[in-house]
Structure 1
Amino acid sequence: MKKLFGLATATAMLLGSTAPSFAADTLALVVSTLNNPFFVTLKEGAEGKASELGYELLVLDSQNDPAKELAAVEDVLNKDVKLLMINPTDSDAVRSAIRAANRKDVPVVTLDRGASGGDVVSHVASDNVQGGEMAAELVASVLEGSGKVVELQGVPGTSAARDRGEGFNKGIGAVAGLEIVASQAADFDRTKGLNVMENILQAQPEIDVVFAHNDEMALGAIKAIEAAKRDILVIGFDGTDDAVAAVNDGTMLATVAQQAGMIGALGVETADKILKGESVPEYTPVPLKLIQK
């Protein structure tokens, strides 16, 4: 495994701070993927706060692969890293990585996505259930309580996909006239969002609204809808720059905006308190807001 991971490690280290010292003030951040604007913003928020508080920050990219995630964590644990922040690729699969940190007595903070096992000191994230409910309330309002809905799910097994879906389905289920006619995973990916939506459009002659668990899938779905020349409203989740632009130009109805940079910054603030021996909450919620034109 070490031979196979050597190049990935070298590449990942380039993503971190320049010439990390691995001294007493070094933190590690392992991100599920940096091929997504939301997580790039999260990383930037963490970097800014780490610089402000005087920490070196080593950033590694798991590339949406649990095996690479575990290898990245094992790599940083062999260095003098004092705390691990991790944005899991999968809430179940990340347990092995967290337990590896536990064995080394390195505190763990999860960001955006939670973990279903291992000892985590604190979790910093938006209330994804509430965000799903906010999207459902908007659907009920614009459709006046009656219509057909499509749900594009995120990566199965992630807490974000589970919680956003839970909140959305709860909200839609509370309105008798609303029906979810298709619910399929597109893995938080724009291209997959486009491809999955194309297939759904062929199978479903009547669709009024699409809710995607993130903006990348929503933007992909919009391309498929435009190509099919259908009139369908789309709601995303995250509040990325591309999504906000799409809302402003009228191609997307709304996005439930997370504050990615704040999640990263609060993660570092939480890490700072832990390393200073201060108490921190098990869960720090980051406010959401609905962005509409």
Structure 2
Amino acid sequence: MKLKKIVTLVSSAILAFSLVGCSIEGEESSAGSDGAVVGNGSIGFSVSTLNNPFFVTLSQGAKDKAKEEGRDLIVVDAGDDAAKQTSDIEDLISKNISILIVNPVDSDAVAPAVKDAIAKGIKVISLDRAVNGVDVDCSIASDNVEGAKMATEYLVSLVGKDAKVVELEGTSGSSATIDRGTGFHKVADEKLNVVSSQTANFNRSEGMTVMENMLQSNSDIKGVFAHNDEMALGAVEAIGNKDIVVVGFDSTDDALAAIKKGKMVATVAQKPDLMGATAVETAIKIINGEAVEKSIPVEVELVTK
């Protein structure tokens, strides 16, 4: 009887352990696997930097929309630091968010953290810049290639074919840098003489320093294409009264003022406030179980005096 009782107890223990194991395995594999939204309904927004007027407006558009809809939005500033952005996203994951909106510092470097979010069942929206190698739920961005092409065509019309020009590039690895560079070179490599292309990390002071160095090497530069307005404005400071035309990208208030004064000739207009609002609106749709487009393009246009 004792032996029979021991066998019965062991069998029961094995059965109980098996059931617990199945339960745990089911919980791990079911997180978001059926398309349902996990988390507490909040939205996390990792923005590349708030030390740039464009992204301040982008963030404010998101905040305003979240407030209007009565939604909890947590905004974290990566400060243009890819490592900090990874840490920020891991922190947002720990807060049990349902949706991650990410505006990458570096489109490659951010990928592992985004994959971690997806593995937890969190839905992901990329904003303004792509997340390379990751299938996110929705991408919202301006047509950076087309915008850069328009800007470069306008530059050609002002400086003439084969004129010497330079390119101020954005942060290396950023999809905006890649796309704007692609659009620029599609036109410039055939119609202009690009004597230098250097990064200034989307930063005004770096734009000024890089432009100063370019002018020392090439005193007969006729035009500048900058991947954003901050770098373009930095170039304007370095150029001073020299007869060099500058084209930027983003249509910030400072750039528009510079165009009115004749210090810049053009910029490419995006709508960062609308982009931020659209991201939150899309996040809410996903939380509500509504279908959304995989890609939502935002039109751009050339702004001149």
Q: Give the TM-score of the pair, scaled to structure 2.
A: 0.85
1:240 and 2:264 equivalent?
no
The Cα shift of 1:146 comes to: 3.8
The Cα shift of 1:145 comes to: 2.6
Q: Distance in 1 between matches of 2:79 and 2:242?
A: 34
Q: Which amino acid aligns with 1:208?
A: K
The Cα shift of 1:119 comes to: 3.2
* 1:142-201 superposed Cα distances (whole Å, 9 cap, x missing partner): 1233411110000010100000000010011232xx211111111100011000000000
Q: Distance in 1 between matches of 2:105 and 2:81?
A: 7
Stretches of structure 2 that go unaligned for 5 or more consecutive residues are 1-38
**Aligned pairs for 1:1-293 within 5 A:** 24-175=40-191, 178-226=192-240, 229-293=241-305
Q: Distance in 1 between matches of 2:41 and 2:289?
A: 14
CA contact (8 A) 2:41 2:287 kept: no
SS in 1 for 2:249: strand
Q: Which amino acid aligns with 2:289?
A: G
Q: Distance in 2 between matches of 1:49 and 1:145?
A: 45
Q: Distance in 2 between matches of 1:59 and 1:76?
A: 9
SS in 2 for 1:174: helix
Deviating more after overlay: 266-275 vs 217-226 = 266-275
Q: Distance in 1 between matches of 2:224 and 2:160?
A: 15
Identical pairs, percent: 50
The Cα shift of 1:31 comes to: 0.4
Q: Distance in 2 between matches of 1:97 and 1:206?
A: 45
Q: Which amino acid aligns with 2:285?
A: K
Stretches of structure 1 that go unaligned for 5 or more consecutive residues are 1-22
Q: Distance in 2 between matches of 1:248 and 1:116?
A: 38
CA contact (8 A) 2:170 2:202 kept: yes
* 1:80-111 superposed Cα distances (whole Å, 9 cap, x missing partner): 31100010010000101101101211001010
SS in 1 for 2:134: coil
Q: Distance in 2 between matches of 1:277 and 1:149?
A: 50
CA contact (8 A) 1:32 1:89 kept: yes
Q: Distance in 2 between matches of 1:160 and 1:134?
A: 15
SS in 2 for 1:64: coil
Q: Distance in 2 between matches of 1:82 and 1:52?
A: 19
The Cα shift of 1:247 comes to: 0.7
Q: Which amino acid aligns with 2:131?
A: A
Q: Distance in 2 between matches of 1:136 and 1:244?
A: 18
Q: Which amino acid aligns with 1:285?
A: P
* 1:105-127 superposed Cα distances (whole Å, 9 cap, x missing partner): 10010101101123311110100
Q: Distance in 1 between matches of 2:257 and 2:188?
A: 27
Q: Which has the higher helix share?
A: 2
SS in 2 for 1:237: coil
SS in 2 for 1:75: helix
Q: Distance in 2 between matches of 1:159 and 1:43?
A: 19
Q: Kindly report structure 1 stretches of 4+ aligned residues shifted beyond 6 Å.
A: none
Q: Which has the larger radius of gyration?
A: 2
CA contact (8 A) 1:98 1:119 kept: no
Q: Give the TM-score of the pair, scaled to structure 1.
A: 0.89
The Cα shift of 1:210 comes to: 0.4
SS in 2 for 1:266: helix
Q: Distance in 1 between matches of 2:303 and 2:152?
A: 14
CA contact (8 A) 1:99 1:119 kept: no
